[in-house]
Amino acid sequence: MWEEKLALYDKIVRMCPRFERKGKTVPYTSANGHMFSILNKDGEVGIRFSEGTKKKYLEKYKTTAFKSHGATMRGYTLITDKMLADLKLVVTLLDESYDYVMSLDHK
């Protein structure tokens, strides 16, 4: 299961030419000193958004906040399996998240 999710996560990130996947054991993306997506040990994908966008997407996609290692990650939205089935949607969400972290002060 995790290996399948990793392959899917890698495929989605490869479809986004402005950034690349990082991390050996915990796959993630980051830019401008900020992480903005992650694949946790449970095979769940989380993407970071501004609080307003996160709130909108929680409702629109009927999802929840993203948790990793039992902790809720502030600003992250769980990308459901239904959402992951729509690669174009997830690529759009990742690009939106990238734009968001690029607007933040560099860490």
Q: How many domains does the chain have?
A: 1
Q: Note the pTM of the prediction, 2 decimals.
A: 0.96
pLDDT at res. 72: 96
In the predicted model, what is the mean pLDDT of residues 82-89? 97
Q: Which residues, in sequence order, are CB contacts of 72 under 8 Å at separation 6+?
A: 65, 66
> Quick one: which of 31, 107, 25 has its CA closest to 47?
31
CA dihedral 86, 100, 78, 56 (to 10 degrees): -90
- Find the domain containing 66 and state its range: 2-103
Question: Could you tell me the CATH number of the domain that includes residue 60?
Answer: 3.30.1460.30
pLDDT at res. 107: 81
Is the pLDDT confidence value at 73 over 90?
yes
